[in-house]
Amino acid sequence: MLGFAQGALTYIIPFLLVLTLVVTVHELGHFLAARAFGVAVDRFSIGFGRSIAKWTDRAGVQWRIGWAPLGGYVRFAGDANAASVPDGDDLEALRREIVAREGVGAEKRYYHFKPIWQRAVIAAAGPLANFVLAIVLFALLLTAFGKVIYPARVDGVVPGSPAERAGFHVGDVVVRADGRRIDSFLDLRQVVFLRAGAPTAFVVERDGRKLTLTATPQRQTVSDEMGGQARVGVLGIESRESLRDRQVRRYNPVQAVGGGVEMTWNILDTTVYYLGRLVSGQETADQLGGPLRIAQASGQAAKEGAAGAGDVGSMLLGAGVALLNLAAVLSVGIGFMNLLPVPVLDGGHLLFYAYEAVARRPLDARVQAAGYRVGLALLVGLMLFATWNDLQQLRVFKFLGDLLS
């Protein structure tokens, strides 16, 4: 029981730290954009549940820290409608209430009476803040530590594999794949995993020359670093990292920002590519992960970052660096997900604002409510599917079966 509790803490605490950072920055993006346009804000909360600390600033915003560190939220004044897009009747009733309470012109401070373009900027500011956070974290890590590079050298070619058919030779060094720079075998694997059945161009260095080889990864079941299994694309080459090949690419602050933008873009590009193949039926849902896999990835990142440290300080530094890197990756994912045109997400609000801009009136409240329910059902269904997928990928059911047999 003690071991189980220690294991749970190993995964839960890093997960909560990463999630709270990413979600709080997302909400801070909404908050800062709203304040820039003079929107009245009632509350900004870090965490949920009963507050363990709270205070009110000069602008009348209540800042609070909740006991449950599961993210945070910002609440605009007068924002009682769950979809945050009331229709014409709701707006008129809200206007009368505000004028009666605060006087003529006071409604201009409220979110729903701001111009459409300002509301759209405020809605988009959350996802944008996530992308900025990812770029900043990547840039900080690149500035402080550089990027460790192990050339993706081909040390072996599996007989009959796509790599052999494409003409890969032992000693080749893969430098680009599908147009993306390859700095390590891990970079190469991330490209290949999502391209099962898709002809892909690889640029290799061989005897001082650069050659372009085209190979089509084939789908196979492999074990991942988390102990789970997934059916992904495999090329059929082997690579063994050697310390003598280890290089560290150093970045000045300007180069680091460029590197952060490139890393953030690569994650976005990979996500869009995967979803496109998933919708078209060319890819499986094995890579869709939920909170369980995120929690496990957080714990695994912390443990791997702390591994080999000679003292407590080095251990904490290594774990912190690994978690910041994970937070950057997760921040890109949350930013992208919130831009999807699904009601209850920021992208859904932007969709409603687009309709309002064209029709010159807000969408009917009943339609908004129906969209809200459908969007919520979609999100809950996706979360349940991702959690079920996590349980299967992590072989939890097999573990329980073995335990009970």
Does 115 reside within a domain? no
For residue 354, which amino acid is it? A
Range of the domain at 234: 147-249
What SS3 class is residue 218?
strand
CA gap 313, 296 in Å, rounded: 23
Q: Are 266 and 186 in contact (CB under 8 A)?
A: no
Reported as a single tens digit per residue, the pLDDT across 22-43 is: 999 999 999 999 999 999 898 9
Q: How many helices (H) and strands (E) does the chain have?
A: 11, 13
Answer whether residue 204 shows pLDDT above 90.
Answer: yes
The domain total for the chain is 1
215 pairs with which residues across the strands?
200
Give 239's DSSP letter: -
Residue-level pLDDT at 395: 52
Reported as a single tens digit per residue, the pLDDT across 281-339 is: 777 666 665 544 555 554 454 454 445 555 666 666 667 777 888 889 889 989 998 99
* Residue 232, CB-side half-sphere exposure with 13 Å CA sphere: 20
Does 93 reside within a domain? no
Residue-level pLDDT at 330: 87
Does 167 reside within a domain? yes
Reported as a single tens digit per residue, the pLDDT across 110-161 is: 888 889 999 999 999 999 999 999 999 999 999 988 888 888 889 999 999 9
225 classed as catalytic: no
Answer whether residue 227 shows pLDDT above 60.
Answer: no
Does 113 reside within a domain? no
Q: Which residues of 81-118 are buried (b: 16+ CB within 10 A; e: fewer)?
A: bebbbbbeebbeebbeebeeeeeeebbebbbbbbeeeb
Query: Any alpha helices (H) in 173-290, and if so which ranges?
Result: 185-193, 253-279
Answer whether residue 51 shows pLDDT above 50.
Answer: yes
What is the dihedral sign for C-alpha 11, 13, 16, 17?
A: negative
pTM reported for the whole predicted model: 0.81
Residue-level pLDDT at 378: 76
Does 160 reside within a domain? yes
- The CATH number linked to 170 is 2.30.42.10
Residue-level pLDDT at 85: 54
Reported as a single tens digit per residue, the pLDDT across 236-281 is: 888 887 767 778 888 999 999 999 999 999 888 888 888 888 777 7
CA gap 121, 317 in Å, rounded: 37
Does 162 reside within a domain? yes
Does 210 reside within a domain? yes
Q: Among 219-228, 320-329, 337-346, which range has the highest average pLDDT?
A: 337-346
Does 229 reside within a domain? yes
